[in-house]
Structure 1
Amino acid sequence: MKASTFQTLIVGLLCLAIAGLSGGLYNQYQHVAELQSTNTQYRQTLDTLQLDSSTLKDAQEKLQFALKDLKQMVDSGEQQANTLDPMLDQWAQEIQELRDGLAARANEVDMTALRARLEQVEQQLLDLRTQLSPPPPTPSAAKPKKTARPKPVPLSPPFSVLGVESRSGERFLAVAPPNSRSLMDVRLLHSGEQLGAWHLIVLELHSAIFAVAGQPDQNVHLP
């Protein structure tokens, strides 16, 4: 073999070896670049997970505070309920006793109110007859001067008017003894019912009309 041919062969082999090494180095470079890219993605994912973990921790702490406040509100509500329940039971019992008392006295009250109303009508009829039939004047008697009839003075009711309550579409007048603060003393008067000598004739929008034996109708203003 000639020396020139051998040198050519050696140079060719070296070129092939260099080309192979270059290809291997290129492949290694690409692999390293892929690993770096993957590492960067992993770091970004890890940062995102750490951020999500921090956000979740903050949300957990806020939720714990909210649960603590809610527990305090529930405890406070239970204390208020324990305080209000006996009062509500007492009021319900007093209202039921009032209803029972009204039902027991209904017939007696109706008869008393009817009797008082009848006496008032008879008295008004008697007054009307007296006004329409004056005694004839005598010639010797001096003509009396006309005097104005005194205006009747309104009577003060023997009770305090608390207001008007509606039950099943009907209006009742709530009254109680003067200066009384107990629900046991409250009475509900319907039209036609009577409290003492005061008989409720009608319950108007802003006043209540009472009939009192021997007196004109009394107009009591509502609060």
Structure 2
Amino acid sequence: MRTERAWLAIALLTLAPALALAFQNLPQPQRALLAPLAAAWPGLDAPTRQRLQANATHWLSLDDAGRAELRRRAAEWKQLPPAEWARRRGPFAAWQALSLAEREQVRVAAARLAALSPAQQQAVRDAFEKLPPDRRQDWWLGPEIGAGFAQLRPLFAFVPEAERGSLLDLLRALTPQARADLALLARRLPANERESLRRELVAAPPQEREALIRQRLDR
């Protein structure tokens, strides 16, 4: 039983987030399920605690059939080679990075695709596969910045992987016009000035970033 609870506590990391609480304040059923993580709980970051709590709630809400299905899927997952784990985690990570508004846009697009005939669906897939690899990769960034990311890509040259997430969050928070201005500015600046601009934008308060872009563009 203890081994199963430990496995479940880790498996539940893959489900949706909710409010995080101190471990001792969690409802008793959640504390029982997540007991293997009690000692580590204070050191977990807030998003991880949130996912664990929400997913414990999800597990506890399932009936026997639902829990059996989750165990079956987890067992299938464990049988996959590591390369396939990495490939499948990519879409999930991309989905987690989207805002709620972007997720709704993706759902609407998926519904529109599902309403097409099989031949039309295949034509859409074929058109996407014909795009250059970097353009296909851009669309994983979501509808807000994916379409225009080719123009923003110069800003990401030589950016350490650890800093890409914060820069993408910054881009998503800008208005479409500010992103268009930033793309124009990125194409004008030499590499060393693009790096300086990146650092200025990240350091600036969010409400001042659009004015900063406009000031640099007007120089």
Q: What range describes the TM-score normalised by the shorter chain of this pair? A: under 0.3
Report the TM-score when normalising by structure 1: 0.17
Q: Which structure has greater strand proportion?
A: 1
Report the TM-score when normalising by structure 2: 0.17
Rg comparison, structure with higher value: 1
